[in-house]
A and B are shown apart, each in its own frame.
Chain A
Amino acid sequence: MNVMDTAEIYRKLTSIFRDVFDDDSLTIAPELTAAALPEWDSLQHIRLVIAAEREFALKFSASEIGSLENVGEFADLIRRKL
């Protein structure tokens, strides 16, 4: 059974966000939304999802991704699927 905790998920998500947005100083928090990051467009959103699928070795459905409101919900989704 996978025992990855929330902190580890956020650590990996931070690395993904920094890579996708090419910003080594970027920090993420549960309440962060796409509206708060001007560079967070539909293409970057796809790259985030693809990178997360690869990093956590899992697959999301379109409905799962479409219903997310912020980073916290994304992290929760990842934790549930691990």
Chain B
Amino acid sequence: MAEQAQVLTWDDLAEGMAATVDFVVTSAEMRAFAALSGDYNALHHDASFAREKGFDGIVVYGGLIISKISQLIGMKLPGCNAVWMGLSLRFRKPLYVGQQARLEGTITRLSDATRVVGLRIEVRSEGRLLAEGDVEARVVQP
């Protein structure tokens, strides 16, 4: 069953506000993302191949991590009134299938004139920073 998106208005938002998404990417999600994206690179499906490339296991798609950012924006912060406008993201370390991770978004900027929210994005696992970046989302409400 679909979860309900958070309903936040512009006046509910403040700099420093944060939300998190905890997730573990499964093999089934990897297969689904391969079919969705058309990216069947063995790095994302063959552990032996990934190890030959110097990784510890099957590397989660960067795009799949971005999909978790979409979840954070659309479901939590700012939630159902949000329209995603932009993203810059750097992948610093790989996330592996089956590895627990936490995505955190923190409001760093609010533009009253445009109702655009700036969020700092961080993805961590076991205390290590895996990815970081910035998001812009516009709050659209009646």
Chain A contact residues, CB within 8 Å of chain B: 43, 46-47, 49-50, 53, 59-62, 64-65
Find residues 98-124 in chain B having any chain A CB closer than 8 Å to their own CB: 111-116
- Interface SS of A by simple majority: helix
Chain B residues, CB < 8 A from A59: 111-113
The docked-state distance in angstroms from the alpha carbon of A16 to that of B111 is 17
Chain A residues, CB < 8 A from B138: 46
The docked-state distance in angstroms from the alpha carbon of A53 to that of B112 is 11
> Given A61-B113, A62-B113, list of 19 further CB < 8 A pairs?
A43-B85, A46-B85, A46-B114, A46-B138, A47-B85, A49-B111, A50-B111, A50-B114, A50-B136, A53-B111, A53-B113, A59-B111, A59-B112, A60-B111, A60-B112, A60-B113, A61-B112, A64-B113, A65-B113
Return the chain B residue nearest A47 by Cβ: B85
A13 to chain B, nearest CB (A): 16
The docked-state distance in angstroms from the alpha carbon of A47 to that of B138 is 11
A43 to chain B, nearest CB (A): 8
A75 to chain B, nearest CB (A): 16
Residue interface bits B121-136, CB-to-A below 8 A is 1, else 0? 0000000000000001
Chain A residues, CB < 8 A from B85: 43, 46-47
Chain B residues, CB < 8 A from A47: 85
The docked-state distance in angstroms from the alpha carbon of A61 to that of B113 is 5
Q: Which 7 A-B pairs have the closest CB atoms?
A: A60-B113, A65-B113, A46-B114, A49-B114, A62-B113, A50-B116, A49-B113
B22 to chain A, nearest CB (A): 30
Instruction: Name, among B112, B113, B116, B138, the residue most crowded by chain A CB atoms within 10 Å (CB to CB).
Output: B113
Chain B residues, CB < 8 A from A49: 111, 113-114
Instruction: Write 15 A-B pairs (CB below 8 A) sorted by A numbering.
Output: A43-B85, A46-B116, A46-B138, A49-B111, A49-B114, A50-B111, A53-B111, A59-B112, A59-B113, A60-B111, A61-B113, A62-B113, A62-B115, A65-B113, A65-B114
